[in-house]
Amino acid sequence: MKNSIVRLRSRRAGVALAGGAVVLTTVPAAAFALDDSGSAPARHVSGDAAAPGRGTVVSATRVAHMTGAQTGAYLKDIDDAFASPRPRNGVDAYSVVYRTITPTGRPTTASGIVALPATAPGTAVRAVSFAHGTLASRKDAGATAEDGQGRVAAVYYAAAGYAGVAPDYLGLGLGPGPHPYMHSASEASASLDMLRAARTVAGSHGVRFQPRVAVTGFSQGGVAAMALGRELGRGADPSLRLGPIASVSGPFDLRRAQLPASLSPTTTLAPKASVFYLSYVTVAWKHGFGLYRSPSEVFNAPYDSIVEGLFDGSKNEATEILPKLPDTPEQLLTPAYRKRLARPSGTLLKAIRSSDGTCDWRPDVPVRLFAGSGDEQVAYANTLSCARALRAHGARPQVVDYGPESRHMGSLRRGVPDILRWLRRTR
């Protein structure tokens, strides 16, 4: 399997599974889908078009219908790591569009994946919310990509008997507008409203959610998961109570861990990965906070003329973005902007704080932080910083270090199965 900066990829395009026709396809939410008998028309869960309520379902289209054996074949095709523990349930997965809010509180829509295990009607299952890592292209999100992290994780947990729920966040998948990258409040609100929508979708198929929701996430999603956990812990929705929290390799501390590591001349991070993330977050801060007036204030020539266009949500990171970016942050960023990043203040500090701080609270549930001290993309110091902050508030998180040989995507492949094993022992 290819080792991507941000995305899981299947070994082949399309998944034709034994025991019937091809049943897993990448389709838009309003497009053709099979009904439960295997023929058209699509099954949709429709909300009241006039209702402004957050979490209201706009549409839900089935994009996968698999037996237990087919689920196992799909997961193994993505990566051998997801063939263990052995999947045992058939799965139906739905691409869902739902109502939520923008960072300024205005109504909008977002999308995500709900994967339900084949179970008897009326069965109560635990929901597992999975927040994906960084995506630059909206079409790589779980609602639209059969090998997107969100879809893979949702199907994986559903195959183990849980309800897999994976938000795409704002501006990715089938959601409008730019993605407010590394903005924890909107990641939390989109994830919370996705859980509400998932509950509706599940109920329409005879599946009930147990009261406690397990919250997980990888990389950017590790921060999103902690932000969602904080909202659930505050009682944001009385019918959705916080269960165990598990994050994998989250960039929890941009100011004191991630940015210093990215800019240090002796960094252990891969310079090209740092270039990608610094480009993405800087453009996002322009959209969200008005960080700069002209790209030349932050990006050196010739990159000042192309970087914003690379992160318009339409381009793939491996084939269209990375080849056009320089090899080091020094080549990408102006000296003045590098100095600002080293000692942020004003608008830049406000932007950084919109991501940082998600570990500054006390979860009254089990918390486990997975990461690798050899991570070449997200500095391990981020996880240690989060653990310190949680402990300062009286929590007792457990840190699992995959060691100096573990790389970023390797922590995802190990972390998702390890979280499942942990959840089976944790309430």
Model pLDDT for residues 337-391, shown as the tens digit of each residue: 999 999 999 999 999 999 999 999 999 999 999 999 999 999 999 999 999 999 9
Return the minimum-mean-pLDDT range out of 113-117, 118-122, 277-281, 335-339: 118-122
Residue type, 33: A
pLDDT at 88: 87
The token duo for 27 is 């389709």
Q: What angle do CA 328, 331, 333 make, to 5 degrees?
A: 100
pLDDT at 18: 24
- Which segments of 143-271 are extended strands (E)? 163-167, 208-209, 212-218, 241-248
Question: Beta partners for 133?
Answer: none
The token duo for 262 is 């990215």
Q: What is the DSSP letter of 299?
A: B
pLDDT at 64 over 60: yes
pTM: 0.89
* pLDDT level of residue 122 (50, 70, 90 thresholds): confident
* pLDDT level of residue 50 (50, 70, 90 thresholds): very low
Domain ranges of the chain: 57-252+357-425, 254-353
Place of tokens 């263990």: 84
Q: Rounded to 5 degrees, what are φ and ψ at 213? A: -105, 130
Place of tokens 């698999």: 66
- Among positive and negative, which fits the CA dihedral 308, 314, 316, 319? negative
- Give the contacts of 238 (CB within 8 A, at least 6 positions apart): none
The three-class DSSP label of residue 82 is helix
Report residue 87 CA to chain centroid gap. Answer: 22
Taking the C-alpha atoms of residue 241 and residue 386, their distance in angstroms, rounded to an integer, is: 22
pLDDT at 236 over 90: yes
> How many CA atoms lie less than 13 Å away from 410 in the CB half-sphere?
13
pLDDT at 62 over 90: yes
Stretch (H or E) spanning 60: strand 57-66
pLDDT at 412: 97
Mean pLDDT, the chain, integer: 89
Query: Quick one: CA torsion of 341, 252, 270, 140, rounded to 10 degrees?
Result: -110
pLDDT at 120: 72
* pLDDT level of residue 5 (50, 70, 90 thresholds): low
- Percentage of residues in the chain having pLDDT higher than 90: 85
Mean pLDDT of 192-206: 97
- Percentage of residues in the chain having pLDDT higher than 70: 88
Q: Rounded to 5 degrees, what are φ and ψ at 418? A: -65, -35
Mean pLDDT of 157-182: 97
CB 159 within 8 A of CB 13: no
CB 176 within 8 A of CB 35: no
Alpha helices in 234-317 (DSSP H): 259-263, 271-289, 307-310
pLDDT at 121: 81
Taking the C-alpha atoms of residue 43 and residue 34, their distance in angstroms, rounded to an integer, is: 8
Q: Report the candidate in 130, 58, 125 with the shortest Cα–Cα distance to residue 91.
A: 125
More confident residue, 338 or 10: 338
Place of tokens 């994906």: 132
Taking the C-alpha atoms of residue 165 and residue 191, their distance in angstroms, rounded to an integer, is: 9
CA-based Rg of the chain, rounded to a whole angstrom?
A: 20
Mean pLDDT of 319-331: 97
To which CATH superfamily is domain 57-252+357-425 assigned?
Answer: Alpha/Beta hydrolase fold, catalytic domain (3.40.50.1820)
> How many CA atoms lie less than 13 Å away from 189 in the CB half-sphere?
19
More confident residue, 268 or 51: 268
* pLDDT level of residue 30 (50, 70, 90 thresholds): very low
CATH classification (class only), 254-353: mainly alpha
* pLDDT level of residue 8 (50, 70, 90 thresholds): low
Mean pLDDT of 76-87: 92
pLDDT at 14: 35
Highest average pLDDT, of 28-42, 49-63, 325-339, comes from 325-339
* pLDDT level of residue 52 (50, 70, 90 thresholds): low
Burial of 396 (0-12, 13-18, 19+ CB in 10 A): exposed
